[in-house]
Structure 1
Amino acid sequence: MALPKRIIKETERLIADPAPGISAVPHEDNLRYFDVKIDGPSGSPFEGGQFSLELFLPEEYPMSPPKVRFLTKIYHPNIDKLGRICLDILKDKWSPALQIRTVLLSIQALLSAPNPDDPLATDVAKHYKQDERDAQRVSKEWTEKYAK
């Protein structure tokens, strides 16, 4: 089945002009499925880590958002144990004007700015709210352990 022009264009741009600290490479056998690597942003507890994610473009894309999840374990209030990500643009704030690149940049930004008020991992969010410094310490430890 042929890919829509839009997906081809976005893929070409991602490869030709990758966003800093982000790579997204489509699978040869399924061009809707991407292996993604995101570097932990500097100044965040995830700095120095490289996180693997999977991104899938459903049939309805771009009318519906891509499906993205972390494969690397991460201690973050907006990412649960299954790697699912709580991010408004992946849900109700999605717009067909957004692109794969925008989504990946937003996920990278989420690593710099965890939002414990809209958690997916409630235990981690609770930790972040009660003792942010200690929660960041655990985030750093997990980054060392799983993302290096």
Structure 2
Amino acid sequence: MTAPLPRRIIKETERLVAEPVHGISATVHDDNLRYFDVRIDGPSQSPYEGGIFKLELFLPEEYPMAPPKVRFVTKIYHPNIDKLGRICLDTLKDNWSPALQIRTVLLSIQALLSSPNPDDPLANDVAQRWKEDEPAAIQTAREWTRMHAR
């Protein structure tokens, strides 16, 4: 028997449905209300434009005192996202605050797609290429988006 869902999670889930964020959808699993299938549209004017990226989001028992666990399921060429889909984002680690919500996290990830940060990499090879030849890295990101995010 699982513990009842905290009221905060119920309210956040209801708000995600009632007030969807442009370019983001999060669908809760029927069998586990702490687990979400997330879809983020690649932001316009970014190398990910036109792509549809699937992510998994899981709220641990400690949430909101601990950040949600989020990872990309769709392969992506990005200096802050590794081959396993893990995301290097300060709000998911050291800068997490219980004041943040699921929608804030998803908006932060969407913003990360608009502005990759090769100075705080998770995928060192991608970050290195981004620094040495940004146009080529952006071109690779576009190709990966075409191949994996359609």
Aligning the two structures, in what range does the TM-score lie when normalised by the shorter sequence? over 0.9
Identity level (%) = 76
Cα distance, 1:126 vs. partner? Answer: 0.3
Deviating runs (4+, > 3 A) in structure 1? none
1:90 aligns with 2:88: no
The corresponding residue for 1:57 is 59
How far, CA to CA, are the matches of 2:18 and 2:70 in structure 1?
Answer: 21
The corresponding residue for 2:23 is 21
How far, CA to CA, are the matches of 1:18 and 1:132 in structure 2?
Answer: 33
1:75 aligns with 2:65: no
TM-score, normalisation: structure 2: 0.98
**What RMSD, in angstroms, separates the aligned Cα atoms of the two structures?**
0.3
The corresponding residue for 1:43 is 45
How far, CA to CA, are the matches of 1:58 and 1:19 in structure 2?
Answer: 23
The corresponding residue for 2:116 is 114
1:29-71 deviation line (CA, Å, top 9, x unaligned): 0000000000000000000000000000000000000000000
How far, CA to CA, are the matches of 2:52 and 2:18 in structure 1?
Answer: 21
* Counterpart amino acid of residue 58 in structure 1: P
The corresponding residue for 1:137 is 139
How far, CA to CA, are the matches of 1:119 and 1:16 in structure 2?
Answer: 35
* Counterpart amino acid of residue 88 in structure 1: D
How far, CA to CA, are the matches of 2:134 and 2:97 in structure 1?
Answer: 33
3-state SS of paired residue (1:120): coil
1:128 aligns with 2:130: yes
Stretches of structure 1 lacking an aligned partner (at least 5 in a row): none
* Counterpart amino acid of residue 41 in structure 2: D
3-state SS of paired residue (2:136): helix
* Counterpart amino acid of residue 144 in structure 2: W
3-state SS of paired residue (2:80): coil
* Counterpart amino acid of residue 140 in structure 2: V
